Amino acid sequence: MTGTTTPWGLDALDKEEQQNQEQHEQAQRILNEQYAACFKTTAGKKVLEHLKGITIEQPAWIPSGGSIDGESAVHHAFAREGQNSVVRSIIDRINAVKK
């Protein structure tokens, strides 16, 4: 047995896993480029600014939130953070292409 061989003949699985990882990374790069192309247009920039304005630039949680028990305010904060996550994901994909 050599030092480069995986025990129990798992070399083929390692190679397949590496190929799958490379394909996944390539697919993500392509998707990032598509996001960047979409949002670099004038209309895309305006839409992204609007999305940022109604999500990540607004508070996700306000103390007391208008409810007596505070529970509905917490649920609202979780939903708002989900919205923020979508917009941040778009921004992250655009920035990945710029790097």
Q: pLDDT per residue over 10-31, tens digit each?
A: 777 788 898 999 999 999 999 9
Task: Report yes or no: 54 and 80 within 8 Å, Cβ to Cβ.
Answer: no
The reply to whether 46 falls in a domain is yes
- Overall number of domains in the chain: 1
Give residue 69's pLDDT: 56
The reply to whether 23 falls in a domain is yes
The reply to whether 75 falls in a domain is yes
Q: Radius of gyration (Cα) for the chain, nearest Å?
A: 22
Closest CA to 87 of 31, 49, 46: 49
pTM of the model: 0.72
Check pLDDT > 90 for residue 99. Answer: no
The reply to whether 64 falls in a domain is yes
Containing structural domain, residue 23:
12-98
Residue 21, token pair as written in the block? 């990882």
Where residue 37 falls (left for φ over 0; alpha for ψ -120 to 50; beta otherwise) is alpha
Q: What are the tens digits of pLDDT across the range 33-87? A: 999 999 999 999 999 999 999 999 988 777 765 555 556 777 778 888 999 999 9
